[in-house]
Each structure stands twice: as C-alpha cells, then as structure tokens.
C-alpha cells in the first residue's frame, strides 16, 4: 500500500502525530518539531521537510491535542491576545494579520476583550494561565492607568509581549516608528509646495499622540521651519469620535486663523471629517488645503479625493508579533522590534496650493 493510500485511509479516523510522521516519511520527533515547536534549537529541520510535514498534516486534517499538551506541561501552541475598544478599526486589522500569521505557523489564538475595563486584566491573565497559553500579547496602547494595574500583575512575568512600548526594560515589545511616519508626512507636504503645515492631535493625554507632536516639531525644524502654535490644534475632549462642532473648530483654528495650507490629521477618520468640513466651506482639497491621514483604513480610498495616509504594515507587524510571542514562550531575554511604516500617496495632497481663501461659512 502506498503512502498516499495509507493517508487516505487515515482520514477516516482522527489523525495522530505518528500518522503525520508516517505519511511524511519522517520521524515523530521531526513532525513534532514542525507542528508543535518541540525539541528546542538543537532539532533543525529543512524547508523541504517542513513542507512535507505540513502537507501531510493538511491532508490528514491533523489537529494537535491542546488539552493533552497542557496536562503534560508542554507547549500548547496557543497564544492569548488582550484587546480593547480604543482605536478598534486599526487594532482589528492588526488582529486579523496576527491571526493569519499565527495560523500559517500552526498556532491558535485565545482573545480577551477589555471593553475599556482595566479591572478585568487580572481575570483574563488568570484565565489564559488556566488554559495553558504559551505567551500573551497585549494589543492595546499603554497608559498611566493601565501601567499602574499591569505592573503588579505582570511585573515578574517574561511571557508577555506589549504593543507600543515594553512595560519593563527587559520585556518584549513591537512598535511602529511613529516619528518616522510623521517625518514622512511633513517631507511629502513640503515636496508638494506646502508652506504652512498644521497638525490635528486627537488626545494630548495619549503617549503616541504626544510623540507625534514632538516628531512634528522635529520634522519642521529639519526643513528650517519654526513651530507656529496657531498650526497646532488638539481635541480637548480626548479620543472620542469627532463631533461636527469639533471638526469645525479644528478647521477654523488651523485654516482661518493659522492660514494652514495642509493639515496632518491624527487618523483617517479625522482626516475624512476634515475634508468634508473643508468642502462645506467651498475650500478645495488639495488645491487650497492638503489633508493627510494615518492608518490606511479602507475609507481612505472611498473619500473624494482619496486620502494620502500612513500604512503601518500590519503584515510585518504580525510577523514580528509571532516571533516575539515564540521567544517569550521560551522565556528569552526580551526584545523590541520596530516596524517601518509606509507613506501612501493619494489625491488629497496631489496639487500645489493656490491662493488662500477665507473659510467663513456662507
């Protein structure tokens, strides 16, 4: 009987790791290394062998017995993900990329949603521990409030990866180079002839927004431009969805009073609302005022004109996240990986500005 015929018969029952090894023509140890990540660094597998084992596992519909692995004290090839509702569109896109990368590598995810309640962090961590997850990813921005709650719970743990910044100096973290992204936007707007570049900041209590403020000043200085406070507008009410009144306030402050010929918005949603507000005042985008976003959400291609924005490269982020989770599961020494963002040029910044027009609504 050929191996393919044997594989066909094995489909009729729940396949075991030994079945996969037999079908692939490799040892059980080799199959376990490929599918379960066991054996440590001393077990080395060629790419062709990985492909053979993966194909055999797919043919046999092999699924690891996570419960048995947990009871045996071994790795379960499962990671825990903690999320929140803040900045949900971007974080959901990141989660989707992480799930795809995890699936490609043979891992599964357990997901906990904080819903803005930092009080449940301890409950989720305890639940993940009881389920034997190999490592945990905190896919939310750290704040002073969250740091205060996390430190007593995770201060001695080495199996957690953070987004944006590590909670401890020797911890794990994956981040996007925010300063580089802002620099890209300023460079691009200067290259298109903009002289007075304004910035809208959604929440000055957010560490990443403050980082953008600093990067904005540095980017202007690199072009020999001073910081004009009339070109900096911040949302006093925090990160809630922008109201029409807030958007109008930003346009009046930046364009009418600050005479901005370009606005760097804090995210794509704010950018779209700014474009709509400018249109209501019969100010052409980009002819009179250029607008840029941040995040490269789908809506950035729906608005007219299409939005120039920053893509945070979720695929690269996901690869880094999985690498760090695997390292954290092995209790490594900690590391920070920085993802380089990409500038996506579209029509909202395409043309050079024309003569300034008043923004007084009719």
Residue 73 forms part of a structural domain: no
Same domain (yes/no): 286, 331: no
Q: Enter the tokens of residue 266.
A: 């804090």
pLDDT top residue among 121 and 197? 197
Quick check: is 360 in a domain? no
Token pair recorded at residue 151: 């430190």
Give me the pLDDT at residue 288, please: 96
- Give me the domain span that covers residue 185: 178-312+345-349
Domain assignment of residue 201, yes or no = yes
Q: Region 199-216: what's the mean pLDDT?
A: 84
Least confident of 192-196, 303-307, 353-357: 353-357
Task: Report whether pLDDT(280) > 90.
Answer: yes
Is the same domain home to 108 and 185?
no
Q: Are residues 195 and 172 in the same domain?
A: no
Total number of domains constituting the chain: 3
For residue 71, what pLDDT is reported?
A: 45
> Cα–Cα distance between 326 and 351 in angstroms, integer?
47
Q: Is residue 7 part of a domain?
A: yes
Residue 31's CB: how many other CB atoms inside 10 A?
28
Over the stretch 231-274, which tens digit does the pLDDT of each residue have?
999 987 665 667 889 999 999 999 999 999 999 999 999 999 99
Q: Are residues 100 and 53 in the same domain?
A: no
Q: Are residues 294 and 320 in the same domain?
A: no
- Single out the residue in 12, 37, 63 at which a domain terminates: 63
Q: Is residue 157 part of a domain?
A: yes
- Residue 121 is encoded by which pair of tokens? 């962090």
Start-to-end CA distance of the chain, whole Å, equals 84
**pLDDT for residue 75:** 67
292 within a domain of the structure (yes/no): yes
The chain-wide mean pLDDT, for the chain, equals 86
Residues 252 and 273 in one domain: yes
Question: For the residues 202-206, what does the mean pLDDT come to?
Answer: 70
The answer to whether residue 6 scores a pLDDT higher than 60 is: no
pLDDT value at residue 158: 85
Residue that is written with structure tokens 């019969």 in the block: 282
Cβ-based burial of 157 (10 A; exposed 0-12, middle 13-18, buried ≥19): middle
CA distances from 301 to 76, 305, 344 (A): 41, 8, 11
Question: Residues 287, 321: one domain?
Answer: no
161 lies in the same domain as 141:
yes
Q: Does the residue 202 lie in any domain?
A: yes
Any idea what the CATH number is for the domain that residue 253 is in?
3.40.50.2300
User: Are residues 253 and 289 located together in one domain of the fold?
Assistant: yes
Q: Is residue 68 part of a domain?
A: no
Separation CA 232–CA 216 (nearest Å) = 10
Q: Are residues 84 and 37 in the same domain?
A: no
Do 235 and 200 lie in one domain? The reply is: yes
Which pLDDT does position 183 carry in this prediction? Answer: 98
- Residues 14 and 137 both lie in one domain: no
Task: State the pLDDT at residue 358.
Answer: 46
Looking at residue 30, which CATH number applies to its domain? 1.10.260
Under DSSP, the state recorded for 257 is: I
The predicted-structure confidence for 13-33, as pLDDT tens digits, reads as follows 678 888 989 999 998 888 887
**pLDDT at 284 exceeding the cut of 70:** yes
Q: Is the model's pTM score more than 0.85?
A: no
Is the bond leading into 305 cis (omega within 30 degrees of zero)? yes
pLDDT tens profile 84-122:
877 889 999 999 999 999 999 999 999 999 877 777 888
- pLDDT at 39 (0 to 100): 59
Q: What is the pLDDT of residue 43?
A: 60
pLDDT, tens digit, 9 for 90 and up, residues 155-193: 678 899 999 988 878 889 999 999 999 999 999 999 999
Six token digits for residue 77: 């090839």
């Amino acid at each position: 009987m050929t191996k393919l015929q044997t594989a066909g018969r094995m489909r009729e029952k729940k396949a075991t790791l030994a079945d996969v090894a037999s079908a692939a023509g490799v040892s059980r140890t080799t199959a376990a290394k490929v599918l379960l990540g066991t054996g440590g660094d001393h077990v080395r597998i060629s790419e062709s062998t990985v492909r053979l084992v993966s194909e055999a596992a797919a043919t046999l519909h092999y699924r690891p017995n996570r419960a048995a692995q947990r009871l045996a004290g071994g790795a379960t090839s499962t990671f825990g993900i903690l999320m929140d509702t803040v900045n949900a569109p971007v974080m959901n896109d990141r989660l989707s990329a992480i799930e795809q990368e995890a699936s490609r590598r043979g891992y599964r995810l357990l997901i906990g949603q904080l819903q803005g309640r930092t009080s449940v962090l301890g409950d989720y961590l305890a639940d993940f521990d009881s389920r034997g997850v190999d490592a945990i990813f905190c896919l939310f921005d750290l704040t002073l409030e969250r740091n205060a709650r996390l430190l007593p719970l995770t201060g001695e743990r080495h199996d957690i990866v953070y987004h944006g910044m590590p909670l401890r100096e020797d911890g794990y973290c994956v981040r996007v180079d925010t300063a580089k992204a802002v620099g890209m936007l300023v460079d691009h707007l200067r290259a298109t002839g903009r002289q007075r570049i304004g910035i809208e900041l959604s929440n000055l209590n957010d560490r990443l927004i403050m980082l953008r403020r600093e990067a904005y000043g540095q980017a202007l200085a690199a072009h020999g431009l001073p910081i004009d406070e009339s070109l900096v507008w911040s949302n006093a009410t925090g990160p809630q969805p922008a109201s029409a009144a807030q958007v109008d306030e930003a346009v009046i402050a930046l364009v009418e009073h600050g005479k901005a010929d370009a606005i760097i918005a804090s995210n794509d949603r704010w950018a779209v609302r700014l474009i709509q507000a400018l249109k209501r005042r019969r100010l052409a985008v980009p002819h009179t005022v250029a607008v840029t976003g941040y995040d490269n959400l789908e809506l950035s291609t729906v608005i007219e004109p299409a939005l120039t924005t920053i893509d945070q490269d979720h695929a690269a982020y996901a690869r880094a996240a999985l690498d760090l989770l695997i390292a954290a599961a092995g209790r490594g020494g900690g590391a920070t990986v920085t993802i380089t963002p990409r500038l996506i040029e579209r029509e909202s910044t395409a043309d050079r500005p024309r003569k300034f027009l008043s923004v007084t609504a009719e």
